[in-house]
Structure 1
Amino acid sequence: MNISPWLTVIVTLGIVAAYEGRLAMAQRRTPQRLARSVHASLREDWFAAISAQPGSEILAVQTLRNSLMSATMAASTAVLGLMGALSLTAPTLHANLGDAVWPHFTPRLAMELVLLCLLFASLVSSVMAVRYYNHAGFIGGMPVGSTQRLQWAATGTAYVRKAGLLYSWGLRQLILLVPVVAFVLHPLAGVAGALVVVVALIQFDRYRIEND
């Protein structure tokens, strides 16, 4: 059975896009059932609680530094993957887009461009998460009850929320690389990889209490 590579590209990306679209709709309707929304509220509540407890400045800074290091590792992974992908795809990109009068797009080239875009997006998200965690660390280190801490409390809460969301987006984009890399190895493997990733993401995105 001969299946068009372009059809496998559409199916592979379509499966992931359909799930992400459905998730975005669920985010608006029932955010309390999604881990992303619940965990964002958890970080906000944590910062509010830590800001109301005198003597918790060191704990706040240590917790935020741990999160910052996690985001830094994700950024490092993304930049190393981006450098490696550019090295591997440079000959193909030059052959199809460099000297040609009209760019010649192939299914493999299209997925290689998607691969580079995902790695770049993951890098940017992770770096921005590092930035927000860094600033939140300065706020969390201010003495509880001080005028400066009260002045920056709302900003600290917002930064902790944004940093967590950006970090999760960076990790998510790395996970979405699986079907793209699988497609580069074999077109049909991309479809299988997309299905596997969606099944895994369903479990990660759903929020449920273990006792329920």
Structure 2
Amino acid sequence: MIDIHSPQFWPYFFDLSVFFFCVLILFGYREWMLRRIRRQPTATVQGINNLARVSWVERIMEENRDVLAVQTLRNSTMAATLMASTAVLLIMGILNMLANADKIGPILHVLNNWGSREPGMWIFKLLMLIVDFFVAFFAFSLAVRGYNHVGYLINVPNTPERHGVTPDRVAQHLNRAVAYNSLGMRTYYFAVPLVLWLFGPLWMLGSTFVLLGVLYHLDHLPQQD
């Protein structure tokens, strides 16, 4: 337990403060984006894509283009499966780093002028990376599950009075699967500040602001800015 009057306390406190601040602003950005998607869907890439997927499902089910639907969903399933498998491999690699923390930690602390160099903080950083990739794994797994459900639903005959499967409901399932896939990608993006956090809190803070700029650029259509 670190004493508050100890000179080691303030680097420890600064590390944790930067971490929670970065998590807070990224979470706030995501909540702001979700509200913007609901209120102005045509002003964001996600909103446009959601509307486009609704139209795509309607076309597929009305024209019975089963082959196109299966090929498209297969590509999405393969991509999500690859990302989920990669997350597991990264988790195993981080666990290996935990086993060699006493050797790797001092090397990374060369650039850490403001943060804590305590072994406990180093282990906490690696654990946050593991949690991040676990979230990515489950998000991509749920995306694969959603794509598989859509693969069955989208090929159901267009007689909703018999089974209740309508294009709108199928599009809702598809957009939910894509939302899980997007969440998985966001956790991958957040892994960049977490990795740089190993070198010090200032690296994490700077990379988080860069990530915010990149996300804003990716989420908004240029002609709408």
Give the match for residue 134 of structure 1. 148
Cα distance in structure 2, aligned partners of 1:125 and 1:193: 23
| Cross-structure match for 2:104 | none
The answer as to whether partners of 2:137 and 2:184 remain within 8 angstroms in 1 is yes
Shift of 1:112: 1.7
Contact 1:16 1:198 in 2 (8 A): no
Q: Do the aligned partners of residues 16 and 198 (structure 1) sit closer, same or farther apart at CA in structure 2, a change above 3 Å counting?
A: farther
After superposition, what is the alpha-carbon deviation per residue over 1:111-152, rounded to whole angstroms, capped at 9, x for unaligned? 22211111000000000100110111122234x535699632
| CA distance in structure 2 between the aligned counterparts of 1:34 and 1:9, rounded to whole angstroms | 33
For 1:15, which of 17, 22, 28 is the aligned residue? 22
Aligned partner of 2:164 in structure 1 is: 151
Tell me the equivalent position of 1:6: 13
Is the contact made by 1:82 and 1:116 (CA closer than 8 Å) also made in structure 2? yes
What displacement does 1:26 show?
4.4
Name the CA shift for 1:45/1:137 in 2 (closer, same or farther; >3 Å). Answer: same
Q: Which amino acid aligns with 1:108?
A: W
Instruction: Quote the residue 1:61 is aligned against.
Output: 70
Q: Which residue of 1 aligns with 2:84?
A: 75
TM-score, normalisation: structure 2: 0.75
* Aligned residue number for residue 187 of structure 1: 201
The verdict on how the C-alpha distance between 1:170 and 1:22 changes in structure 2, with shifts beyond 3 A counting, is: closer
Aligned equivalent of 1:28, options 11, 14, 35: 35
The one-letter amino acid paired with 1:20 is F
CA root-mean-square deviation: 2.9
Structure-2 change in CA distance of 1:107 and 1:61 (3 Å): same
Specify whether residues 147 and 187 from structure 1 end up closer, same or farther in structure 2 by C-alpha distance, changes over 3 A only.
closer
Query: What's the % identity of the aligned pairs?
Result: 27
Provide, for residues 57-77 of structure 1, a one-character-per-residue CA deviation record: whole Å limited to 9, x for no partner.
111111111111111111111
Go from structure 1 to structure 2 and tell me whether the alpha carbon gap of 1:196 and 1:43 turns closer, same or farther (over 3 Å shift).
same
The TM-score, its normalising length taken from structure 1, stands at 0.79
In the alignment, residue 164 of structure 2 is paired with which amino acid? Q
Match of residue 111 from structure 2? none
| Uncovered stretches (5+) of structure 2, i.e. residues with no partner | 1-7, 102-117
Contact persistence 1:6–1:107 (CA under 8 A): no
Q: Are 2:136 and 2:184, in contact at CA under 8 Å, matched by a contact in 1? A: yes
Consecutive unaligned residues of structure 1, counting only runs of 5 or more, are: 93-103
Q: Could you tell me how far apart the structure 1 residues matched to 2:98 and 2:214 are?
A: 28
- Cα offset, 1:43, TM superposition: 1.8
CA distance in 2, matches of 1:135, 1:149: 18
Kept in 2, the 8 Å contact 1:139–1:149? The answer is no
